[in-house]
Structure 1
Amino acid sequence: MNKLFIRKAEHEDLRRVKELHDNLLCVKYGHHFYEQLINGHGYILLVAVLNAQIIGFASFRIEWLNQKEEITTQAGLLTLGVDRKYQTQGIGGYLLEKGCSYMKELGVSSVYLHALASNTPVHSFYQNHYFIHEDTVKNYYHFDKTYQDAFVFRRKFDKKLHSHFSYWMDSVLEIFETCCC
């Protein structure tokens, strides 16, 4: 029986995750990148496991923003991939949805990502998962001595924005309701 599940990666998973990264992605990462995904503050690495074998990954970086007295978080989807033998079976979408659900549970207001501007199938994949093309970054990628543009896609969740005052007021009301009602 085939059993697929998504879980947070562990240190012993890094060798297989690196192997998948190297086989699937144009960007090559050093050892520090993988260590940071496991041990770094604000980084999350999820793996898709089928029959006790890691067949996919999704890595996120949570970023804290403070703009105009509003505090919020967003997450960058750093990498996402599924072993070629298992592609086009919905596993990448399942992994992405599980990752986005987890980010939402953590209170993240949105997930954004960069994708090669020339990679139309990837654009369709993300748009099918509620990501919206938000911007274009010129010369974002550098492969084989040439520069490539990137599209920025974003998926927004329910807003978790609070001004400092409204955050304080929510806390006061919660205390009041607990003590006095």
Structure 2
Amino acid sequence: MHTDYPFDTNNRAYQRLLTLAGEHFEVVTWENATGRPTMLTLVDVASHDAVSLALIDTADDHQAHALLAVTTDAAMSLHGPIAGRTAAADYAPHLAMHNADIAATTPAALHHPDSMTIGTSEWLTIPPDIAAAAHTGALDTTSVGLVLLDRDRAQMVVVGPFSTPADAQAWQPATDGWPPVDRVVVGLHPPASETDSP
């Protein structure tokens, strides 16, 4: 979410709101002296009734994510970084079409290595059978991610990207109150275009 009360007029939800509202209402946009939209008034054309909506801020789905893929033998790979959870999820069909061994995928937020504190909301729940069997695949990339894997609770966090496996292994989070976790270094593959194979 943006800070200091800004508003991104390119925000996809805002643009869709304008499109949909324009199909059913007369839309009046109110702006402040800097040109920032502050309010929308929607006027019903038939009755001339109106409702005004304050525009407080925007939030964009651009946090760095990776698509975690697990093969039929529970080898993990990461694909990213990709801007946003939705874009990471949208990459899954492309990846699966080029690798028949993939059994499951899920978008995972990339915790930036500059922050040593991992919040409880960052833990991603995964199926217990995958948590029990998951292991690293071939490290055949120039970039890696560190998967902190809590096998008992079937949860994980992905930290990265890192330039080398040694950098990933050297990274240490603040761990007050944490359960024991396995540290698994996983290759981070750049997303392939739709015309390339991953």
Task: Give the TM-score band, short-chain normalised.
Answer: under 0.3
Greater C-alpha radius of gyration: 2
Give the TM-score normalised by structure 2.
Answer: 0.25
| Structure with greater proportional helix content | 1
TM-score for the superposition, normalised by structure 1: 0.26
